[in-house]
Amino acid sequence: GAGVSQSPRYKVAKRGQDVALRCDPISGHVSLFWYQQALGQGPEFLTYFQNEAQLDKSGLPSDRFFAERPEGSVSTLKIQRTQQEDSAVYLCASSTKKYAGVTDTQYFGPGTRLTVL
Amino acid sequence: AQTVTQSQPEMSVQEAETVTLSCTYDTSENNYYLFWYKQPPSRQMILVIRQEAYKQQNATENRFSVNFQKAAKSFSLKISDSQLGDTAMYFCAFMKPGANSKLTFGKGITLSVRP
Protein backbone atom coordinates (compact mmCIF):
# COMPACT_ATOMS: atom_id res chain seq x y z
CA GLY A 1 0.00 0.00 0.00
CA ALA A 2 0.90 3.66 -0.18
CA GLY A 3 1.18 4.24 3.55
CA VAL A 4 1.55 2.54 6.91
CA SER A 5 -1.46 0.45 7.78
CA GLN A 6 -2.52 -0.92 11.14
CA SER A 7 -5.13 -3.45 12.16
CA PRO A 8 -7.47 -3.65 13.84
CA ARG A 9 -8.37 0.03 14.04
CA TYR A 10 -10.34 -0.57 17.22
CA LYS A 11 -10.01 -3.33 19.78
CA VAL A 12 -12.01 -3.90 22.94
CA ALA A 13 -10.62 -6.44 25.36
CA LYS A 14 -11.69 -7.70 28.73
CA ARG A 15 -9.13 -7.33 31.48
CA GLY A 16 -6.82 -10.30 31.43
CA GLN A 17 -7.18 -11.09 27.72
CA ASP A 18 -4.24 -11.17 25.33
CA VAL A 19 -4.28 -8.89 22.27
CA ALA A 20 -2.20 -8.66 19.10
CA LEU A 21 -1.86 -5.47 17.09
CA ARG A 22 -0.51 -5.52 13.57
CA CYS A 23 1.52 -2.97 11.63
CA ASP A 24 2.25 -3.06 7.89
CA PRO A 25 5.01 -0.52 7.19
CA ILE A 26 5.68 1.13 3.86
CA SER A 27 7.36 -1.39 1.58
CA GLY A 28 11.13 -1.26 1.83
CA HIS A 29 11.26 0.76 5.03
CA VAL A 30 14.08 -0.46 7.24
CA SER A 31 13.11 1.17 10.52
CA LEU A 32 9.89 0.52 12.43
CA PHE A 33 8.73 2.16 15.65
CA TRP A 34 5.87 1.54 18.07
CA TYR A 35 4.48 4.36 20.19
CA GLN A 36 1.76 4.44 22.84
CA GLN A 37 -0.53 7.46 23.02
CA ALA A 38 -2.71 7.84 26.11
CA LEU A 39 -5.80 10.02 25.87
CA GLY A 40 -4.88 13.69 25.66
CA GLN A 41 -1.15 13.00 25.66
CA GLY A 42 1.66 12.88 23.16
CA PRO A 43 2.91 9.55 21.84
CA GLU A 44 5.54 7.77 23.90
CA PHE A 45 8.18 5.48 22.43
CA LEU A 46 7.81 1.76 23.05
CA THR A 47 10.23 -0.10 20.82
CA TYR A 48 12.31 0.09 17.64
CA PHE A 49 13.22 -2.40 14.93
CA GLN A 50 15.88 -2.20 12.26
CA ASN A 51 14.80 -4.84 9.78
CA GLU A 52 14.05 -7.91 11.92
CA ALA A 53 16.31 -6.89 14.80
CA GLN A 54 14.72 -5.30 17.84
CA LEU A 55 17.41 -2.79 18.77
CA ASP A 56 15.62 -0.89 21.48
CA LYS A 57 12.79 -2.02 23.72
CA SER A 58 13.45 0.39 26.55
CA GLY A 59 9.99 1.95 26.33
CA LEU A 60 7.97 -1.23 26.84
CA PRO A 61 6.15 -0.63 30.13
CA SER A 62 6.21 -4.20 31.42
CA ASP A 63 7.08 -7.76 30.48
CA ARG A 64 3.47 -8.19 29.39
CA PHE A 65 4.38 -6.23 26.24
CA PHE A 66 6.14 -8.04 23.45
CA ALA A 67 6.90 -7.01 19.87
CA GLU A 68 8.28 -8.88 16.89
CA ARG A 69 9.13 -8.34 13.24
CA PRO A 70 10.31 -11.78 12.14
CA GLU A 71 10.82 -11.12 8.42
CA GLY A 72 11.73 -7.47 8.61
CA SER A 73 8.43 -6.18 7.28
CA VAL A 74 5.16 -6.70 9.19
CA SER A 75 5.35 -6.17 12.93
CA THR A 76 3.09 -7.35 15.73
CA LEU A 77 2.76 -5.81 19.17
CA LYS A 78 1.37 -8.29 21.68
CA ILE A 79 0.01 -7.42 25.09
CA GLN A 80 -0.59 -10.27 27.49
CA ARG A 81 -3.06 -10.19 30.39
CA THR A 82 -4.30 -6.74 29.48
CA GLN A 83 -4.95 -4.20 32.23
CA GLN A 84 -7.10 -1.07 32.20
CA GLU A 85 -4.00 1.13 32.16
CA ASP A 86 -3.09 -0.40 28.78
CA SER A 87 -6.01 1.46 27.19
CA ALA A 88 -4.47 3.82 24.64
CA VAL A 89 -3.89 4.34 20.94
CA TYR A 90 -0.94 2.33 19.66
CA LEU A 91 0.83 4.00 16.77
CA CYS A 92 3.26 2.42 14.36
CA ALA A 93 5.72 4.43 12.25
CA SER A 94 8.26 3.46 9.63
CA SER A 95 11.14 5.19 7.91
CA THR A 96 13.61 4.41 5.18
CA LYS A 97 16.94 4.81 6.83
CA LYS A 98 18.96 2.93 9.39
CA TYR A 99 20.38 6.13 10.78
CA ALA A 100 18.55 9.36 11.37
CA GLY A 101 19.07 12.21 9.00
CA VAL A 102 17.24 15.30 7.94
CA THR A 103 15.46 13.40 5.19
CA ASP A 104 14.49 10.52 7.43
CA THR A 105 10.83 11.17 7.99
CA GLN A 106 8.80 8.83 10.17
CA TYR A 107 5.50 7.97 8.49
CA PHE A 108 2.75 7.07 10.91
CA GLY A 109 -0.12 4.68 10.63
CA PRO A 110 -3.67 5.52 11.75
CA GLY A 111 -3.22 3.69 15.04
CA THR A 112 -5.13 1.02 16.92
CA ARG A 113 -7.36 2.26 19.72
CA LEU A 114 -7.30 -0.34 22.49
CA THR A 115 -9.94 -0.21 25.22
CA VAL A 116 -9.59 -2.60 28.14
CA LEU A 117 -12.76 -3.08 30.17
CA ALA B 1 17.07 12.34 28.77
CA GLN B 2 15.28 14.83 26.60
CA THR B 3 12.03 16.53 27.53
CA VAL B 4 9.63 18.53 25.38
CA THR B 5 7.16 20.95 26.92
CA GLN B 6 4.06 22.41 25.34
CA SER B 7 2.42 24.51 28.00
CA GLN B 8 -0.62 25.72 26.04
CA PRO B 9 -3.27 22.97 25.97
CA GLU B 10 -5.62 24.75 23.58
CA MET B 11 -5.64 27.65 21.17
CA SER B 12 -8.19 29.16 18.85
CA VAL B 13 -7.71 31.36 15.81
CA GLN B 14 -9.93 33.04 13.26
CA GLU B 15 -9.68 31.78 9.71
CA ALA B 16 -7.08 33.71 7.66
CA GLU B 17 -5.29 35.00 10.75
CA THR B 18 -1.90 34.03 12.12
CA VAL B 19 -1.26 31.89 15.19
CA THR B 20 1.90 30.85 17.01
CA LEU B 21 2.25 27.60 18.95
CA SER B 22 4.95 27.43 21.62
CA CYS B 23 7.37 24.64 22.46
CA THR B 24 10.41 24.41 24.71
CA TYR B 25 12.75 21.51 25.17
CA ASP B 26 15.60 20.41 27.35
CA THR B 27 18.65 18.51 26.17
CA SER B 28 22.38 18.32 26.69
CA GLU B 29 22.92 17.35 23.06
CA ASN B 30 24.37 19.76 20.53
CA ASN B 31 23.24 17.96 17.40
CA TYR B 32 19.56 17.13 17.11
CA TYR B 33 16.41 17.65 15.09
CA LEU B 34 13.11 19.25 16.00
CA PHE B 35 9.75 18.61 14.42
CA TRP B 36 6.17 19.76 14.42
CA TYR B 37 3.60 17.06 13.70
CA LYS B 38 -0.09 17.53 13.02
CA GLN B 39 -2.69 15.00 14.13
CA PRO B 40 -6.16 15.70 12.70
CA PRO B 41 -9.23 14.14 14.28
CA SER B 42 -8.72 11.06 12.05
CA ARG B 43 -5.55 10.51 14.14
CA GLN B 44 -2.98 9.95 11.36
CA MET B 45 0.14 11.86 12.39
CA ILE B 46 1.60 14.02 9.61
CA LEU B 47 4.92 15.86 9.55
CA VAL B 48 4.47 19.62 9.20
CA ILE B 49 8.00 20.95 9.40
CA ARG B 50 11.46 20.03 10.67
CA GLN B 51 14.55 21.90 11.79
CA GLU B 52 18.16 20.82 12.17
CA ALA B 53 19.76 22.27 15.27
CA TYR B 54 23.00 23.12 13.48
CA LYS B 55 21.16 25.37 11.01
CA GLN B 56 20.65 28.95 12.10
CA GLN B 57 18.12 29.65 9.39
CA ASN B 58 14.53 28.99 10.44
CA ALA B 59 12.68 26.37 8.41
CA THR B 60 9.64 27.33 6.35
CA GLU B 61 7.08 25.24 4.48
CA ASN B 62 4.50 27.34 2.68
CA ARG B 63 2.24 28.82 5.40
CA PHE B 64 4.22 27.17 8.19
CA SER B 65 7.40 28.56 9.67
CA VAL B 66 9.36 28.12 12.87
CA ASN B 67 11.20 30.40 15.24
CA PHE B 68 14.13 28.34 16.47
CA GLN B 69 16.06 29.83 19.39
CA LYS B 70 18.77 27.29 20.22
CA ALA B 71 20.21 29.10 23.24
CA ALA B 72 16.75 29.48 24.75
CA LYS B 73 15.78 25.93 23.68
CA SER B 74 12.62 27.27 22.13
CA PHE B 75 10.94 26.07 18.95
CA SER B 76 7.66 27.77 18.07
CA LEU B 77 5.45 27.17 15.05
CA LYS B 78 3.79 30.01 13.19
CA ILE B 79 0.82 29.28 10.96
CA SER B 80 -0.06 32.10 8.58
CA ASP B 81 -3.39 32.52 6.80
CA SER B 82 -5.00 29.84 8.98
CA GLN B 83 -7.38 27.49 7.23
CA LEU B 84 -10.20 25.33 8.57
CA GLY B 85 -8.17 22.26 7.64
CA ASP B 86 -5.48 23.34 10.09
CA THR B 87 -7.78 22.31 12.96
CA ALA B 88 -5.90 19.50 14.69
CA MET B 89 -3.62 18.60 17.56
CA TYR B 90 -0.06 19.78 17.04
CA PHE B 91 2.88 18.03 18.62
CA CYS B 92 6.39 19.30 19.01
CA ALA B 93 8.99 16.53 18.91
CA PHE B 94 12.72 16.08 19.48
CA MET B 95 15.03 13.56 17.87
CA LYS B 96 18.66 12.77 18.55
CA PRO B 97 20.25 11.40 15.37
CA GLY B 98 21.67 7.92 15.52
CA ALA B 99 20.76 4.29 15.06
CA ASN B 100 17.56 4.65 17.05
CA SER B 101 15.96 7.84 15.83
CA LYS B 102 13.01 7.70 18.18
CA LEU B 103 10.88 10.79 18.63
CA THR B 104 10.23 12.40 22.01
CA PHE B 105 6.92 14.27 21.90
CA GLY B 106 5.36 17.04 23.92
CA LYS B 107 1.81 16.72 25.23
CA GLY B 108 0.40 18.56 22.24
CA ILE B 109 -1.83 21.54 21.70
CA THR B 110 -5.35 21.51 20.28
CA LEU B 111 -5.75 24.20 17.65
CA SER B 112 -9.22 25.21 16.52
CA VAL B 113 -9.66 27.42 13.46
CA ARG B 114 -12.95 29.36 13.56
CA PRO B 115 -14.77 30.20 10.32
pLDDT on residue A2: 79
Compare all CA atoms of chain B with the CA of A4 and give the residue at the minimum distance.
B44
B103 touches A: beta carbon within 8 Å = yes
| Mean pLDDT value across residues B43-53 | 90
Does a cis peptide bond (omega within 30 degrees of 0) precede residue A43? no
What are A67's strand-pairing partners?
A77
Question: Percentage of chain A with pLDDT > 70?
Answer: 93
Given the DSSP bridges, would you call strands A10-13 and A112-116 parallel, antiparallel or unpaired? parallel
Compare all CA atoms of chain A with the CA of B10 and give the residue at the minimum distance.
A40
Residue in A39, A99, A107, A108 to test binding to B, most B beta-carbons within 10 Å: A108
Specify whether the CB–CB gap between A45 and A31 falls below 8 A.
Answer: no
The answer, yes or no, to whether residue B62 has pLDDT greater than 80, is yes
Helices (H) and strands (E) in chain B, counts: 0, 12
A35 touches B: beta carbon within 8 Å = yes
Given the DSSP bridges, would you call strands B88-95 and B109-114 parallel, antiparallel or unpaired? antiparallel
pLDDT tens for A95-112 read 887 555 545 788 999 999
| Mean pLDDT value across residues A57-75 | 96
Please give the C-alpha separations between residue A55 and each of A45, A46, A93, in angstroms, as whole numbers: 13, 11, 15
Q: What is the mean pLDDT of chain A?
A: 92
B40 touches A: beta carbon within 8 Å = no
Compare all CA atoms of chain B with the CA of A5 and give the residue at the minimum distance.
B44
Of A27-31, B66-70, B72-76, minimum mean pLDDT range? A27-31
| Mean pLDDT value across residues B79-108 | 92
B57 touches A: beta carbon within 8 Å = no
Q: What is the mean pLDDT of chain B?
A: 93
**Inter-chain contact A33–B97, Cβ cutoff 8 Å?**
no
pLDDT on residue A1: 53
Contacts of B9 (CB under 8 A, 6+ apart): B107, B109, B110
| Mean pLDDT value across residues A22-47 | 94
The answer, yes or no, to whether residue B59 has pLDDT greater than 80, is yes
